[in-house]
Structure 1
Amino acid sequence: MSVEIKLSRSNRIYRPNELVEGKIVTKLSSSISHQGIRLNVNASVNLQVRGGSAGVIESFYGVIKPITILNKTVEVLKSGRISSGTTEIPFSFWLKDPGEKPLEKFYETYHGGDISIQYLASVDISRGYLHKSLSATVEFIIESEKGLGLISLSSFSFLWVI
């Protein structure tokens, strides 16, 4: 049994106001029943503290608790059955709902030495207490409009020009 998330764009690059589309692909040797299929979309900023720039307490931990910048759950299917073989279940979601006042600030995906901004989509096929849930995760990339980006997190400030 396996599950995989395939995004519609092979490069996995999206802008904050775009629709993200894809398929959840299951490969099963026998049919299974499930209690729902949910897609969780999470984004976080992770800061790593290095010895020279950290305070005494922070240097003990090495990593500051991640800061969540996006947390969204999309119900793809209600409870039911998935047949044996390969099944493709389509999904789509808006990163930033059209017409809604933006509560989240989207930053570009970034993986550096001291900071990481990561966007993940995870699927969870819940199968009840007696069976292990099936899950998969894929990272996608957020690319913002050209301009100036600024992140101010507590006492840390990062500035970059695109």
Structure 2
Amino acid sequence: MSNKTPTENIKISIQKSDFSIEKENNFLSNQAPETGAVVTFTGRVREFSEQPDVTGLFLEHYPGMTEKSLKRIIEQAQQRWDIQRISVIHRIGSLAVEDQIVFVGVSSAHREAAFEAARYIMDYLKTEAPFWKKEITRSGEHWVEAREKDQTARARWSAPD
């Protein structure tokens, strides 16, 4: 499938400020009578990860390169599924426990395409986009290494059907 979502229906943002899930849902679904499914994912800072006492995160990115990487991931998803609208937001800077980190939203005529495309985008975002994450804990700070489970999730997309 070589569907190309119009540029005005694609939203990519890397930002320090928080985002509104309601606003993103509206972008994905308003004035879109052909839309049968809207799937969203929101990632948040949790109080545990590599360490049990996480109090926050610090996220950095490579400006320019990160946006290009996200655009490429979206283009790959468009080649696989019939997508109507896409929103990808990733926050950077200092974040506290319970803060929102990332939003991935996809709308499509059918739920299967929306679910699959959203999962694909998130799996590739975790492994291909140049973001660096430092966990802040009560006992200190440390940079988070790439995780094998994220690589395994991404590998599923290149496995033969």
Of Structure 1 and Structure 2, the greater strand share is in 1
For the pair shown, the structure with the greater C-alpha radius of gyration is: 1
Q: Which has the higher helix share?
A: 2
TM-score over 0.5 (shorter chain)? no
TM, length-normalised to structure 2: 0.29
